[in-house]
Chain A
Amino acid sequence: MIPALLVGLALVDLAFAAFRDAAGRDGRIRKRAFYIDAVVRGTAIGAGLVALLGGLTAAVVMVGPPGTYADLVRIGGRMVLVYGTYATLVLATLGVYVVGSGDVRAFATVAVLGPFTWLRVPVVLAGALWASLAPADIPAARPWAVVATFICAAAVATAERAFGWLRARQRHGPRDLPRPRA
Chain B
Amino acid sequence: MPPERVEITDLIIDYDPETLARKPVRKDDVLAAMAERGMGRRAARIVAGLPDAGGVLDEAQLDALFVRIHAELQRLNEEFRQGERLLMLLEPLLRVTSGQRVVDVGCGLGYVVRWLAAHRQSARGTTRAWGDGVELLGCDYNGALVTEAQRLAEAEALDCGFRVANAFRLREQPAVFTSSGVIHHFRGDALAAVFRAQAESGAVACIHFDIKPSWVAPVGAYVFHEARMRERVSRHDGVLSAVRAHPAATLLQAARAGAPEMVFAMFDGAVGLLPILRVMHAVVGVRREHAAAFRAALGPLGARLSELS
Contacts and interface: CB of A to CB of B under 8 A. Distances in A.
A111 B229 contact: no
The DSSP consensus for interface residues of chain B is helix
A23 interface: yes
B227 A24 contact: no
Interface string B89-132: 00000000000000000000101001100100000000000000
Contacts of B80: 106, 109
B279 A25 contact: no
Contacts of A118: 223-224, 226-227
Contacts of A114: 220, 223-224, 227-228
A27 B109 contact: yes
Contact of B223 (A27, A106, A115, A180): A115
Interface in B204-239: 220, 223-224, 226-230
Interface stretch (B150-158, B187-195, B256-264, B284-292): B150-158
B60 A180 contact: yes
A137 interface: no
A115 B75 contact: no
Contacts of B156: 28-30
Given A117-B227, A180-B60, A26 B277 contact: no
Interface string A86-120: 00000000000000001101110111011101100
Interface residues of A, number: 27
A12 interface: no
Contact of A180 (B51, B152, B228): B51
B56 to A, nearest CB: 15
Given A106-B278, A110-B276, A30 B118 contact: yes
A111 B67 contact: no
30 contacts: A20-B228, A24-B72, A25-B71, A26-B71, A27-B109, A29-B111, A29-B152, A29-B156, A106-B277, A106-B279, A107-B277, A109-B79, A109-B80, A110-B276, A110-B277, A114-B220, A114-B227, A114-B228, A115-B223, A117-B227, A117-B228, A118-B223, A118-B227, A177-B68, A178-B67, A178-B68, A178-B148, A179-B64, A180-B60, A180-B65
A104 to B, nearest CB: 9
A28 B75 contact: no
The 8 closest A-B pairs by CB, nearest first: A24-B75, A118-B227, A117-B227, A24-B72, A180-B61, A110-B276, A29-B118, A178-B64
Nearest to A107: B277
Interface string A1-36: 000000000000000000010011111111000000
A28 B152 contact: yes
A23 B72 CA distance: 8
A110 B89 CA distance: 22
Contacts of A102: 81, 84
